[in-house]
Amino acid sequence: MEGSCNCKEVTFVTSKNIKAILNCHCNLCRKMNGSAFSTYVVVPTDEFSLVSGTLTRVQVSENASKSFCATCGTPIYNENPKYIGLTIIHLGALDNIDDLSPAVDTFCESQLEWIENMRNLTKLEKGIS
């Protein structure tokens, strides 16, 4: 699988040896990614390779570091010392994600109540005009 940041300066490859695809609803992911929840693809660290570009790494807590494009800020992956040997890639950083869908929601104790109702929202083909 291949991936990149928004400005295409950072590119990476990883195997299709996916260990999990998940949504995380924890407060830390919510804050560090600026979203109601985050979707990740978990792969073995030794099967992830940065091809080009420079990443900035920030230690956001004792249990999480975040690596993102130094130019455009696109989040690429997280690491957690609880999950040695695994790289937690932001789903949106991967190219061709149509066939990838989460199989589990984690940290549901902090999931926002309205998340369960998202399928009932008004659907627009493009942005609000």
- At residue 32 the predicted structure's pLDDT band, cuts being 50, 70 and 90, is confident
Is there a domain that residue 123 lies in?
A: no
The pTM of the whole model exceeds 0.85: yes
Is there a domain that residue 126 lies in?
A: no
Write out the E strands in the chain: 2-4, 11-14, 20-24, 38-44, 48-52, 55-61, 64-69, 75-79, 86-90, 104-106
Is there a domain that residue 124 lies in?
A: no
Is there a domain that residue 125 lies in?
A: no
What are the pLDDT digits (tens) for 54-94? 999 999 999 899 999 999 999 999 999 999 999 999 999 99
Mean pLDDT of the chain: 94
Is there a domain that residue 127 lies in?
A: no
Number of domains present in the structure of the chain: 1
CA distances 107 to 32, 55, 94, Å, are 15, 27, 23
- Is the pLDDT score of 53 beyond 90? yes
3-class state of residue 110 by DSSP? helix
What are the pLDDT digits (tens) for 100-110? 999 999 999 99
- Is the pLDDT score of 19 beyond 90? yes
Is there a domain that residue 63 lies in?
A: yes
- Is the pLDDT score of 36 beyond 80? yes
